[in-house]
A and B are shown apart, each in its own frame.
Chain A
C-alpha cells in the first residue's frame, strides 16, 4: 500500500484518524462521506470547483523564486508557492470553496465554522456570502479580542461571530462549540472544518481540496527547473496547507518533506504548540493523533505568536507521516519566525503570515545545509497583513 491510498474506509491513517464522535453525529458523518465520495468523482462538481478556483480564488497561484533571499542566506534555491495571493489572502479558501459547494449540493442552507486567527472564518464567511448561505462562525473569546479586524470582516460578509467563553477561550474551544452547534442543528447545517483534522471524512476531504497546491507546485517546478524539488517545507498547525502541498509528492521518495510546528518560547519551556515534536498520541476532536496533553489526558494550553498554529492537535495524516518516517517534523520559535518575517519582507517585498514565517524560518536553516544545487519549495500559505499589529506590538509600537 502506498501512502496515497490512505485513509482506509473508516478514515484510518495507520493507528491515527478514525471517527471519535458521539453517536448523534455518526449518521450525518456517514452522509457526508457518501456525498463527498460521490462528488469527488462527479465531473460537474469538479468542473465547478475548478472554475471557482480559477475565477474567484485566482488560481493557479504563482511559484516564485525568492532569488535575493536565497542568495543572502546561501545554499539551496528557495521557491515560494504564493498562496498568499489567493482571494482572502491564504490557502484556506481552497477548502471552503470545496466544502461550500458540497454543502449546497447536499441541500444544507446553514454553514458553521470554527476559527482561531480568523482566516478560516473569513474564508468561510466569504463563500457563504457568495452562495447565499447563512453563516455562523465560532471563535474563542480571547481570539475575538485579539483579531478584531477579522471579526469585523466576517460581520461585513454577513456572518454571525459567536465568541466562545468556555475552556481556554481559544481555537480548540471554538471547535468544541461548533461541534455542539452541529449536533444540535444537524438536519440543515453543514460544518466546514478548516483543517485536515476532525472525524473522518474531514482529514481526507480537506486534504483533497487543498492538494491543488501540491499539484500546481509540482507542475510549476518541473516547468521552471526541469526536475522535482529536493525538499518541501510548510508550517503545521492543524496542517492543511502542509498536507495540500505534500500530498501530490508523497510517492516521490526523493523529495524530502518538512512540516514546521510552532515552538513558541522554545520546546524546552513547555510553552509551544508542537504536538508532533513534543506531544503524544491521544484522541481529541474526533480523531486519534498527536496531542498536547498532561499526564491525566487533559488537553493543555498552547502558545505561539501565530494564532493559526495555536492548536493542541494536528491532522492525523501528519501523525502517520511522522511515524512512517515519510515526513520530518521540526519546530521553530516565535523569535525565529519573526526574524524570517522581517527578512522576507525586506528582501523580497512580500509580507508573509506569521504562520508561513515558521516555514520560511526553517527553510532558512535548511538551505545552507542542502547546498547550492538544491531546490526547496516553501508554502507561503498566507499573507501577513493580518499580523502587522502583533509584530508592531513585539517591537513596542501600538498601531490602533
Chain B
C-alpha cells in the first residue's frame, strides 16, 4: 500500500537525505492555481506534497492556514474538487506522493468507504485527519487501508509513550510529529527536545518520521532534517501564496523558488538521523 510514499522514502535512504514535504491549501487563493502549483513544487524539489482540504473551522491551524481555507472556500472548493485536482495532477506526475490533510467533517459527509475509494482512484497516497485521534478513527483507517491509502497519524509533544505505541500500531506511510504545543505556523520547536521525542518514536516504529509546525526557511529545514526523515513546511509557503493572492499567475514560480532553496539545503545537509 501507499507504494509511492514507500518508494520515495527508500530512494531518499539511498541518497542519505531527508524528505521535503510541502503543504499548500487546495483551492487557495483560487482553484485554478492548485494543480500548476503542485507541479511547480515537485519540480522545485518537494518530495511529497501535502494538500490541505479547506474547512470552515480549522481548529488546529494558525491564522495563515485559516485564511487560506477561507480564500479556498470563497471559491467553493469542496473535498470532491480537491480529489479532482489530484486526479489532474496525476495525469502528468505519477511519481510524487500526495497526502491530503484536513478535518473529519467533509469526509463524514461523503462517507468513509466512498471517500477512501475515490481518494485511491484519484491517486491520493495518504490521508491525515487532524481531528480524528486513533480512539475514534478505526473505521476510517480500515477503509483507507483497504484501498491502499496510508493513514498518516500525528504524534505530539504531549503524547505519552504508552499512547505512542498504540498509535503507531495503526499508522501507515510516515509519522507526522507535531514539534510544538500549538497551532500551525507557531513558534519553532526546541531542537533537542524534538530529537529526544523522535528517538522515542523510533523505538516503536520503523516508519519514517517527519517533523512539522514551525519550520519556516532553508535554515530551520536543514536543522530539523538532521534529526528526522522528513521536514514539513506549510505556513511559510502559504504566506507567500497569500502575498500574491491578487496576482495568482505569479504564485507557482514564487513558491517554487522558496521550495528550491529548502530542497537545496536538505541535499547539502544529508541527514535522515
Contact = CB atoms under 8 A, between A and B. Distances in A.
Interface in A10-39: 10, 18-28
Nearest to A165: B63
Contact of B105 (A19, A173, A185, A297): A297
B265 to A, nearest CB: 27
B105 A283 contact: yes
A128 to B, nearest CB: 22
B203 to A, nearest CB: 18
Given A19-B135, A21-B133, A297-B106, A26 B163 contact: yes
Contacts of B66: 166-167
Nearest to B183: A180
Interface in B169-193: 178, 181-183, 186
Contacts of A167: 56-57, 66, 70
Contact of B131 (A21, A180, A296): A21
Contacts of B132: 20
Contact of B62 (A19, A180, A284): A180
B262 interface: no
Contacts of A21: 59, 131, 133
B79 interface: yes
B66 to A, nearest CB: 5
Nearest to A26: B133
Contact of B183 (A28, A184, A187, A300): A184
B200 interface: no
A282 interface: yes
A20 B106 contact: no
B60 interface: yes
B181 A184 contact: yes
A299 B79 contact: no
A20 B103 CA distance: 10
A283 B160 contact: no
Nearest to B177: A23
Interface string A170-203: 0011001001100111110000000000000000
Contact of A179 (B59, B156, B159): B59
A20 B104 contact: yes
Nearest to B102: A297
A293 interface: yes
Given A282-B109, A283-B104, A27 B163 contact: yes
Nearest to A298: B56
Interface in B73-106: 73, 78-80, 103-106
B154 interface: yes
Interface in A205-219: none
A273 to B, nearest CB: 16
Contact of B79 (A179, A184, A286, A297): A297
A19 B104 CA distance: 12
B107 interface: yes
A143 to B, nearest CB: 16
B136 interface: yes
A283 B57 CA distance: 11
A285 interface: yes
A23 B78 contact: no
Contacts of B178: 22-24
Contacts of B154: 22-23
A186 B73 contact: no
Q: Which of B59, B131, B132, B160 has the most CB of A within 10 A?
A: B59
Given A22-B131, A24-B178, A296-B79, A183 B60 contact: yes
Interface of A: 10, 18-28, 166-167, 172-173, 176, 179-180, 183-187, 281-286, 291, 293, 295-300
Given A23-B158, A25-B158, 4 more contacts: A10-B135, A24-B60, A166-B66, A282-B109
30 contacts: A10-B135, A18-B135, A22-B131, A23-B153, A23-B178, A24-B158, A26-B163, A27-B156, A27-B159, A27-B160, A166-B63, A176-B58, A176-B59, A179-B59, A183-B181, A184-B181, A184-B182, A186-B158, A282-B108, A282-B109, A283-B105, A283-B108, A291-B105, A296-B106, A297-B79, A297-B106, A298-B56, A298-B73, A298-B106, A299-B105
Interface of B: 55-63, 66-67, 70, 73, 78-80, 103-110, 130-133, 135-136, 153-160, 163, 167, 178, 181-183, 186
